[in-house]
Amino acid sequence: MTTLNEQDFRRAMSHFATGVAVVTAKGSEGEQGATISALTSVSLDPLLLLICLHRGSSTYKAIAEAGRFGLSILNNSHKDVAMLFASRTADKFGSDVVVRAEDGIAFIDGALVQMHCELVETFQGGTHALFMAKPTSITVRDEAPLLYFQGQLGIEA
């Protein structure tokens, strides 16, 4: 074993394959969205999930202000969508990949899962925050997921 450092830790964690999702929220600075791979279920009773975002991101601020967010779990054809929402481009929402629920929350069209979430609690963890949330509505489609493994998107399931 080696002495642990940031580079070694990042490399080790890259060996954990994850799904890819987009979170969206509207705060005082307008509509924001980000690509995430840090997402997990927490509890079935009550229903709870956890997402993780950098505390300096505009999406973190929007979720903290709004107290709710949209979660879209991406399918294997959404690699370009994941890259768009991972970028700092200003016009993520002008694209035809975004659809809106009746309440205005933005979701990714054709996502495996579209889930409305209400913020329950926020935890600080170094440079990041963990948002615990409860889902309030869910739409599910059965298709192949977009996976993230060793820094690459679109690894076959």
Q: Quick check: helix, strand or coil at residue 65? A: helix
**Has residue 90 got a pLDDT over 80?**
no
Residue written as token pair 């054809």: 77
Average pLDDT over residues 109-127: 96
d(CA 129, CA 121): 10
Residue 144 per-residue DSSP state: P
Residue 157's pLDDT is 47
pTM: predicted TM-score of the whole model, two decimal places? 0.91
Residue 43 · residue 32 · CB < 8 Å:
no
pLDDT digits over 67-89, tens only? Answer: 999 999 999 999 999 999 999 87
Phi/psi class of residue 118: alpha, beta or left (left: φ > 0; alpha: ψ in -120 to 50)?
Answer: beta
Between 151 and 157, name the one with better pLDDT: 151
Residue 140 · residue 115 · CB < 8 Å:
no
Between 3 and 146, name the one with better pLDDT: 146
pLDDT digits over 32-64, tens only? Answer: 999 999 999 999 999 999 999 999 999 999 999
